[in-house]
Amino acid sequence: MDELADAVGAFDGKRARRIVGTPSPERLRQDAAVRAVAEGVLVARQAACIALGDRLDADWRRTTGPFAYATVPSAVWWWRRLSVHLTPRSVLLRNALRIAAALACARLVAGALSLPHGFWVLLATLSLMRTSAADTRAALVPAFAGTALGALVAVGMLEAVGERPLVYALLTPVVFLVGFAFGAVAGPMWTQAVMTLAFMVLFGQVAYPGWDLPALRFVNVVVGGLIGAAAGLLAWPRGAYGQLRDDVGEFLVRAAAGCREVAGLLCHTVRDDGSDALLPARRAMLLAQATHLEYSGERAARQHRSTDPPWGAYMLAGYAVVTGGALLLGRHRHGAHDPPPPEAAAELAALAERVAGECVRSAGALARPARPGPLSDPNPAHTSGPLRVADRTSTADLLLIADAEAWLTAVARDAVRARGSG
């Protein structure tokens, strides 16, 4: 388990010993890139260990990197995740509010109309509502048709069986086993038909339901489905599609600020108060991930697949900031080191500003897809070059600058590539 970490440590030692006289910036960049790849493997290994139930290694406990959640109690971490979504921008909160409002309306309607078995109205509202108005509307037709078909079959079954509770008891496991076993394959129409039959055989074991109960269930399902469709139409009808572009753009803007913040901490131009410098970007990332996950299951994702921007490519630049920046701070900020020379710090700050600009431009390309703007240099470090002052810095400063430059260059490359593939 520790062989890889030992190999990375040995490589760091070789990097330090290799710096003699005037090192080659190209070699420093190459070693920093290799070091970043090796650290990515370490991250993947630690993630696999945590997934298998192992404890977090001591080296990772001292950082606010990608495994910060493993160092706090579960209740605290769940509260942090919940607090991220306590904002109107969260699709999870919006869906919860929309469902709550729809269920409240369904309860009022069922009570006002004095519908027997009014819980069917609430159940239909809850089961037929989708995250967008288009998806909800598309779910209504098969649901109504399946309920009508199930009601017709149920009427025939009730007339044939009559008041024989034992027969209904024998039919119950057959209806549940055969009906629901094929529900995932046969679709929502089949599921609603089976649910209607299931209710009838359950009621038949207690008292003969009569032929009017299937018709009453059909009415309740129609009322509940229409209430859900109205709620979806009035509250955020576009679902995640209307929010995804804004959330990914906000993620990139927060990531741009994270580039500047991390560079300032590494250069000691920003006071280190022990807080998570990447927390705003991390919160924006969680919101964008939730929105993208919801959008992936919506009808709009299939309709706009050919014209959508490459969401994953745009988010990749933000991931590089959040994960790479945290790993960089874990290696260099928490180890006692002096600030780099002013000239090197100024060069690194200038590079961070250019990379932040690339992230902001990518966010702007999402906001204005018809006018993406020209692509800029995907390797800004080659022209801004903090390593140009390499011969005037110490060994520790050289490693810090090389690692920071490699990280910032990777972020810029991802941001530029996203705009180029859009």
How do the pLDDT tens digits run along the chain, 422 residues long?
578 778 888 888 888 777 766 667 777 888 888 888 888 888 888 888 888 877 776 666 666 667 777 777 888 888 988 999 999 999 999 999 999 999 999 999 999 988 888 889 999 999 999 999 989 999 999 999 999 999 999 999 988 888 888 999 999 999 999 888 887 788 889 989 999 999 999 988 888 888 888 989 999 999 999 999 999 999 889 889 889 999 999 999 999 999 999 998 888 877 776 678 899 999 999 999 999 999 998 887 777 777 888 999 999 999 999 999 988 888 776 555 677 778 888 888 889 999 999 999 999 988 776 544 454 555 555 555 556 655 556 676 778 888 888 899 999 999 998 887 75
CB-based contacts of 114: which residues, under 8 Å, 6+ apart?
none
Q: Which residue has the tokens 């549940």?
A: 176
Half-sphere exposure of 149 toward its Cβ, with a 13 Å CA cutoff? Answer: 14
Distance CA 94, CA 86 (A): 10
Residues 6+ apart with CB under 8 A from 139: 128, 130, 188, 225
Burial of 38 by CB count in 10 Å (0-12 exposed, 13-18 middle, 19+ buried)?
middle
Tell me which DSSP letter residue 418 carries. H
Helix pair angle (133-161, 119-128), 10° resolution:
140
CB 223 within 8 A of CB 110: yes
Burial of 367 (0-12, 13-18, 19+ CB in 10 A): exposed
